[in-house]
Structure formats: C-alpha cells, structure tokens
Structure 1
Amino acid sequence: MLEALKALLGAGAPPVEREGEGADIHIAAAVLMVDAASIDGEFGDNERGIVAGILKRHFGLTDDALANLMSLAVGRRDTASDLNRYTLTIKDEFSEAQRVELVELLWEVVYADGQLHAYEANLLRRIAGLLYVSDRERGDARKRVLNRLGVTE
C-alpha cells in the first residue's frame, strides 16, 4: 500500500500545483498535516520537524522537494479558510485504503506530543468525514498509532 501511495504522490518529484485543478495532492496532504500539527495553537520547530519527518518518510520526498512542500503547505494553511478543497482533492485522488493511511498519519501528527487535545480530536473527526473514512476506520487508525507510539490514555 505504501508503494502505491508513493507512486500516486510522485515520490521524489517536487510538488507542483496542477493548472486549474485546485490544490495538488502533495500540497493537500501536507496542508492537512500542518493544520493538525497547529490546531492546538502551536506550530514550532518540534511540530515542523514531526510533519516534515512524516512527509519525507511516507512519501519518499527529496530534501528539496520536502522544503518546497513544507513552505507551500504552511503558506496555504495560513491562508486557508476551510479544508474542503484539500480533502476533496485527496478524496478524488486516493483510494479508500490510501485515505485511511492518511488519517493514520494525521493521528501520528496529533499524538506526537503524547496527548490529544479536544481541537485535534475534532479536526480528525471532520477530516475523516470529509475523506469518507468511517468512524470505525478512524478509530482503528488511532489505535494503531497509539500502539506504535506507546501512548496510553
């Protein structure tokens, strides 16, 4: 599944927005991650590093492509009024399994500090709904991340 996700995202290629089609899928995924990392009011170096690490690890980006993507995502997140255009791009381009994988990555972002804030939980619920990821799949993705990170609640 990860290989299919990398192929879909064009691993290693710099993210370039497609003319007339809205946000590119690279940018859409990164904006959602930046939003998840910053919804609690903080997006410092630690959060940036976590998001960058996840993007690089899961999408196989080069350092230059990653820097470009992070810059675009932060800029887009700062000016985004809602997440619908980004979730719509992902919903239209990703398979169901890839959308669940993205939700799992978002859980990894919000649990990076070891705790879940109410705003983060609400955001993940909204994003999962917009991506047509069921509550059960969202919950299962959360449990996998909690187990992987060793976080207990």
Structure 2
Amino acid sequence: MFDRLLNFLNSLGEDSQANRSTGDYADNDPRLCATALMYHVIRADGVLREVEKERFEALVRQENNIDSAELDKLLEAAKLADNEAIDLYKFTSVLRMGLEMEDRVHFVELLWELVYSDGERHELEDNVVWRISELLGVDGRDRVSMRQRVQSRMEGDADG
C-alpha cells in the first residue's frame, strides 16, 4: 500500500510543470498538496512545537523517500503554498482524484500522527483533520478509527 502511494506521488511529480510561486513543484503536484495539508495541521492550534516540526519533517521524508536537499525544497514550497491557499480544497482535490480510498485513509492516519506528536489533541487540529477527511471522501468511521489507532500507538510508546 505504501509503495503504491509513493509511486503515485513520485510519478505525478515527474510530469508536473514547475510553478513560479512554489519552486520546483507545480500546484497540482500531490507531494506538494499532501505536505501543505500536513503543515496546515501542525499549525492549526497556533503553536508550532519543535516535536511537531520534527515529526512533520520525518513523515514527509519517509512518505516521499527523498534526501535532505529535496526535503528542504518540498517543505519550503509546501509552507508557501499553505500560506497562499484560501482553502483546503485546492490540495484535497488533487489527492482525492489521484489516490485510492485506502491511501486516503492512510493519509488521514498520518495527519493524526502529527496531531498527537506533541502529546495532545487540540480541538482546532481535530477540526482540521475532520475537514480534510471530509474533502478527501474519508468517512467519519475511518477517520475516528485512524485517530484511535494512532492514539493507542502513541500511548503505548509513552508507556514503553
């Protein structure tokens, strides 16, 4: 499943034209869209903690299988894209069209990992994940299931 997601993200990125505002990434590049949404989630509560930033960078690197230089480019482009965006639809529509449902559910799970990376679930972060899930066509049952899965895993990590 992860390989399909990675292959899809990489293949679309290769075909896309560079965009002036986001450097090497076109507006419809799924890597940019996914990373911008992830960045939006970690900023939702108005406090960007170092642990959130580190988890964000680790997830982006892991999901895209990229080196440090490419990671820096993608992160900067995503931050800029998120800051310029007027809504989440711009990003979610690209992902919804290109990802199978199980990959969209996996993406929601990644968002929950970001939410819980600082050890707490803020209501604004929760709301953003809910909105992104709805726009991706992920039903509430899957969204809640992914939240519970991540919460249980994070609590297990804290105990161990």
Q: TM-score, normalised by structure 1?
A: 0.89
Aligned counterparts of 1:83 and 1:16: Cα–Cα separation in 2:
23
What's 2:81 paired with? 76
More helix by share: 2
1:42 aligned counterpart, secondary structure:
coil
**Distance between the aligned counterparts of 2:32 and 2:14, measured in 1?**
8
Mapped contact 1:22–1:89 kept (Cα < 8 A): no
Cα pair 2:33 2:92 within 8 Å, conserved: yes
Give the aligned length: 150
Uncovered stretches (5+) of structure 2, i.e. residues with no partner: 20-25
Percentage identity across paired residues of the two chains? 29
Q: Is the 8 A contact 1:91 1:132 kept in 2?
A: yes
Note if contact 2:41-2:111 (Cα within 8 Å) is conserved in structure 1.
yes
Using the TM superposition, give the Cα deviation of residue 44 of structure 1 relative to its aligned residue in structure 2, in angstroms.
Answer: 4.7
What are the within-5 Å matches in structure 2 for residues 124-143 of structure 1? 124-143=129-148
Residues 49 and 16 of structure 1, relative CA distance in 2, 3 Å threshold = farther
The aligned amino acid for 1:137 is D
Residue deviations 1:91-110 (CA, integer Å, cap 9, x gap): 00100010000000000001
Contact 2:51/2:117, CA 8 A, preserved across alignment: no
Q: In structure 2, which of residues 112, 118, 123 is the aligned counterpart of residue 113 of structure 1?
A: 118
- Give the match for residue 149 of structure 1: 154
> Could you tell me how far apart the structure 2 residues matched to 1:125 and 1:44 are?
21
Write the deviation string for residues 108-149 of structure 1: whole angstroms up to 9, x where unpaired: 001111111111111111100000000001011111111221
What is the rounded CA distance, in whole Å, between the counterparts of 1:133 and 1:24 in structure 2? 21
Aligned partner of 1:6 in structure 2 is 6
In 2, the alpha carbon distance for the partners of 1:107 and 1:27 equals 19
Q: Which runs of 4+ in 1 moved over 6 A?
A: none
State how 1:80-119 maps to structure 2 within 5 Å. Answer: 80-119=85-124
Aligned twin of 1:30 = 35
Find out whether 1:65 has 2:63 as its counterpart: no
**TM-score, length basis structure 2:** 0.85
